[in-house]
């Protein structure tokens, strides 16, 4: 029997490909499923890792979903010129080369994780999207949110030592919450009335907020009950279309509750709540919810949603998590007499928690107590940092409160050894928020930036020196990831030992052709540190030229070339910035699909972002015409050119530039970029004096 399918899932590919193949242990009509990875000639062995992931993931999904993969073959094809990261055509999944190919000897472990997840995400679509297709674009999240959550579920199954779900709390969830803190965000279920709107909703809301809401619901129902409901949903709607309501019905039937009643606001309304905590001497804790806006200027008409919120409370009184729920705009609860607790245990809930400053700092002290403290897993420590950092942006906490909190993590690795887990995600979260502050404060007095460098040295240098630069073959994945976080931060802090080591290794790598001098995991970091600490423009130009040669070397693995491209924008030299910008106009020098790497790098470089905006605005018509059929990429160019600003005058200039232009194709992305810049400007204006006072204290310590 031939079943109907959506026309967008049909693909044909013709080209001079090579392939390698394997077979699943599961069967389709009595025979194993044939799996092949196709590449251009000479690269096929770099598909070996993805081939193994694919066969295992197909078997895992067949077991989890209770429905075997319904086709006799699965082809994965690496394409050099491809707008999307990947596309889940049924039985023939297409990928950018960087999303599929991995060299076991020369690629980085961070890239290995990304290839694993991307392959699993696209294979999950064979069930979510292909076997059952969304009813209309309003329900895009049923495809993308589920494929994101299930993709990480499979990655966790294949690599349980990677601590995937803590990395999700550190990465995917913040991407969703940052975007959804803007007025210009959109609900998970968003009405699509014009074809131009479709590309603009393939974003962090449909993917990462969708996955975060699924994770929250699965945690509340229990993963086994949740997956049983998913199987019910897939069996009921296979080879057909479904809506969000169909999913809620299937889950509700399995769980014996009205899931839609609890969850509909999470998908139909924009935003998410912040829970404000007030304690009393009697031990009663008052919790109120309001919509979180990073601009910090919420108006009453924007705060009418009353979310159902699973609280999941951790206390000293019990090793178990107490499953409370907030069902009103405000409620009171009896919590421990010592007043110490953490909401959102495991960081599964999609919300922020705003503790009083004194409580926040007590929780920071609690992080120091190891097994005798309140915090029993890394996700809760990541969540504490994430909430405090975000609430400083909106003004619900002072930025100095966040900075005082992170200082308490100065010996984080020691305090957490009892779990035999390194805490790379905690350090990654701290690093990300420090980078956000420094990026927003980039035009502030020099003593402020000096204090941030001192803080980075104080926090990250001891671990960087302890871990060193080598990656032993027997080393745990999380230890390697920790090294990848702490060494660059020590370098950003101008740690003399780290900078000198990076420079020595760089020149051995590029002058002496010593491939072992810089491990693939650290090459991008070394490029950045050496560029930033060149003694003069002549040396900086020499470093930049050497990195450019790496990018142009087509014999290298794809990820290593793209790492080099993404670091060319880290230069302080105006001449080199302008040279890189000029290269983005020529597809012979930088492929059209790869221009985004240069723009992202320049947009995050405080020395380059004004040049980037000037260049982009002068060449706007050129880029718009060039990317007219690749608006997802054009959206990235817009955001990279705008959202790093924190000066109202420049933001006004941006707004004036677009007056009179037909922005329909990129309106949502433009509004989000401008609003993100306004958030930065308000943040700096609000907390400028607070941060300057903090900086004076730090500089006096002589770190």
3-state secondary structure 205-249: HHHHHHHHHHHHHHHHHCHHHHHHHHHHHHHHHCCEEECHHHHHH
Q: Is 122 a catalytic residue?
A: yes
> What is the b/e burial string over 551-572, where b = at least 16 CB atoms within 10 angstroms of the residue's CB?
beeeebbbbbbbbbbbbbbbbb
Instruction: Give me 249's structure tokens.
Output: 């019905």
Six-digit token pair at 494? 């101008």
- Would you say 121 is a known binding-site residue? yes
18, 21, 88, 122: the catalytic one is 122
Phi/psi for 171 (5° steps) reads -120, -70
Query: What span, in angstroms and rounded, lies between the C-alpha atoms of 200 and 635?
Result: 8
28 is known to lie in a ligand binding site: no
Give exposure, 81-114, as e/b (b: 16+ Cβ within 10 Å): ebebbbbbbbbbbbbbbbbbbbbeeebbbebbbb
Nearest-5° Cα angle at 75, 71 to 80: 150
Q: Give which of 494, 573, 564 is closest to 525, Cα–Cα.
A: 564
Q: Is 533 annotated as a binding residue?
A: no
Nearest alpha-carbon partner for 173 in 404, 406, 407, 428? 428
Cα-Cα-Cα-Cα torsion 387, 487, 115, 171, nearest 10 degrees, comes to 0
Q: Quote the DSSP letter at residue 2.
A: P
For residues 384 and 401, give the distance between their C-alpha atoms in angstroms, rounded to a whole number. 12
Partners of 36 in beta bridges: 21, 75
Radius of gyration of the chain (CA): 25
Active-site positions read 122
Binding site for Zn(2+), by residue number, is: 121, 125, 144
């Amino acid at each position: 029997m031939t079943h109907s399918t959506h026309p967008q899932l049909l693909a044909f590919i013709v080209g001079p490909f090579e392939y390698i193949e394997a077979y699943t242990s599961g069967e389709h009509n009595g025979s194993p499923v044939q799996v092949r990875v196709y590449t251009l000639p000479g690269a096929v062995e770099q598909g070996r890792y993805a081939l193994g992931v694919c066969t295992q993931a197909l078997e895992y999904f067949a077991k989890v979903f209770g429905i075997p993969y319904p086709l006799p073959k699965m082809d994965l094809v690496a394409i050099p010129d491809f707008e999307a990261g990947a596309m889940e055509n049924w039985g023939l999944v297409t990928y950018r080369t960087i999303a599929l190919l991995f060299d076991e000897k020369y690629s980085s472990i961070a890239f290995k994780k990304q290839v694993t997840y991307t392959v699993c995400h696209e294979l999950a679509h064979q069930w979510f999207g292909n076997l059952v297709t969304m009813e209309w674009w309003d329900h895009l999240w049923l495809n993308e949110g589920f494929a994101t959550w299930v993709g990480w579920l499979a990655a966790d199954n294949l690599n349980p030592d990677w601590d995937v779900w803590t990395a999700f709390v550190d990465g995917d969830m913040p991407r969703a919450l940052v975007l959804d803190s803007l007025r210009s965000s959109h609900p998970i279920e968003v009405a699509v009335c014009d074809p131009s709107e479709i590309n603009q909703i393939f974003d962090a809301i449909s993917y990462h907020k969708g996955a975060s809401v699924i994770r929250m619901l699965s945690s509340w129902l229990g993963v086994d009950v949740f997956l049983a409901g998913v199987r019910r949903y897939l069996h009921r709607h296979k080879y057909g279309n479904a809506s969000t309501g169909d999913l809620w019905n299937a889950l509700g039937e399995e769980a014996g509750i009205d899931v839609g009643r609890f969850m509909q606001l999470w998908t139909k309304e924009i935003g998410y709540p912040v829970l404000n905590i007030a304690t009393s001497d009697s031990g009663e804790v008052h919790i109120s919810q309001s919509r979180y806006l990073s601009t910090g200027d919420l108006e009453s008409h924007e705060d009418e949603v009353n979310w159902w919120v699973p609280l999941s409370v951790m206390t000293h009184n019990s090793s178990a998590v107490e499953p409370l729920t907030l069902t009103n705009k405000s409620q009171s609860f009896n919590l421990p007499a010592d007043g110490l607790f953490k909401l959102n245990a495991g960081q599964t809930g999609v919300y922020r928690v705003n503790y009083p400053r004194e409580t926040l700092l007590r929780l920071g002290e609690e992080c120091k107590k190891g097994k005798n403290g309140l915090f029993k897993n890394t996700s809760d420590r990541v969540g504490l940092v994430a909430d405090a950092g975000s609430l400083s942006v909106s003004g619900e906490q002072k930025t100095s409160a966040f900075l005082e909190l992170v200082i308490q993590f100065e010996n984080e690795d020691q305090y957490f050894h009892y779990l035999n887990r390194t805490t790379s995600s905690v350090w990654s979260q701290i690093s990300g928020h420090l980078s956000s502050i420094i990026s927003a404060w980039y035009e502030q007095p020099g003593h402020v930036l000096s204090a941030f460098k001192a803080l980075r040295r104080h926090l990250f240098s001891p671990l960087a020196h302890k871990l060193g630069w080598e990656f032993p073959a027997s080393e745990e994945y999380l230890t390697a990831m920790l090294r990848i976080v702490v060494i660059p931060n020590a370098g950003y802090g101008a740690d003399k030992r780290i900078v000198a080591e990076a420079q020595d290794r760089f020149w051995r790598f590029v002058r002496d052709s010593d491939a072992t001098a810089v491990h693939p995991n650290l090459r991008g970091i070394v490029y950045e540190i050496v560029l930033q600490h060149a003694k003069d423009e002549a040396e900086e130009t020499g470093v930049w030229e050497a990195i450019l040669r790496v990018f142009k070397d087509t014999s290298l693995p794809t990820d290593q070339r793209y790492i080099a491209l993404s670091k060319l924008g880290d230069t302080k030299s105006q001449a080199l910035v302008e040279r890189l910008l000029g290269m983005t106009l020529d597809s012979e020098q930088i492929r059209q699909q790869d221009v985004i790497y240069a723009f992202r790098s320049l947009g995050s470089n405080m020395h380059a972002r004004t040049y980037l905006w000037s260049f982009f605005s002068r060449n706007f018509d050129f880029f718009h015409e060039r990317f007219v059929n690749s608006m997802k990429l054009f959206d990235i160019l817009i955001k990279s050119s705008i959202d790093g600003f924190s000066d109202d005058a420049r933001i006004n200039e941006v707004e004036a530039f677009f007056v009179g232009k037909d922005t329909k194709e990129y309106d949502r992305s433009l509004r989000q970029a401008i609003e993100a810049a306004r958030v930065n400007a308000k943040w700096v204006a609000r907390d400028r004096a607070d941060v300057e006072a903090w900086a004076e204290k730090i500089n006096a310590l002589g770190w």
